[in-house]
Amino acid sequence: MAFSMGGSGSMSEINVTPMIDILLVLLIIFMVIVPVTPRGLDALVPQPPKNPQQQQQPNDRTIVVQVLYRPGAAPAYKINETDVAYADLQNQLTNIYANRAERVMFVKGDDDVEFRYIADVIDIGKAANVDHIGLMTPKIQAGQ
């Protein structure tokens, strides 16, 4: 504390130098903590096709594997209305998803099919590197 000499006695004043030092240190700390450039979310933006003639139809992009009930026999399988044998199902799905960025598949089963056959199709889809597998129900089909 410093004293000023005046005519009527002594008067005390606060020394503000240590407070300014603390303020500058805190200012430097906050400048280092706060990032200089704000960073947004990483997002993939769809790019237009290089060749406009090669645009895929929306129906070509959606893959639906159907498990059809056959009384007294193993179920039949279809990929987008194309008949596929059970032994060829994994090879077909692997070929379909080999060059796709969007790996989404839907499984649609008849009401009378046992769930183990649908579970087999889900396992085959995972083995074919399908990322997301959805089940189609009558409620979803009615909304189309």
Q: Around Cβ 128, how many Cβ atoms within 10 Å? A: 19
Residues 21 and 69 in one domain: no
* Residue 2 located in a structural domain: no
Q: In terms of domains, do 13 and 66 share one?
A: no
Assign 4 to helix, strand or coil: strand
3 in any annotated domain: no
Pair of tokens at residue 98? 């080999």
The CATH number linked to 115 is 3.30.420.270
Number of helices followed by number of strands (H, E) in the chain? 5, 7
List, for residues 78-111, the tens digit of each pLDDT value.
Answer: 998 889 999 999 999 999 888 888 888 999 988 8
The owner of tokens 């895929």 is 56
Residue 120, in any domain of the structure: yes
Model pLDDT for residues 55-76, shown as the tens digit of each residue:
544 446 788 999 998 888 889 9
Domain span at residue 76 reads 60-142
Task: Report the pLDDT averaged over residues 8-12.
Answer: 70
Within a domain: 128: yes
> Does 49 reside within a domain?
no
Q: How far apart are the first and last CA of the chain?
A: 82
Same domain, 128 and 70: yes
CA 40 – CA 38 distance, rounded (Å): 7
Max distance between CA atoms of the chain, in angstroms, equals 117
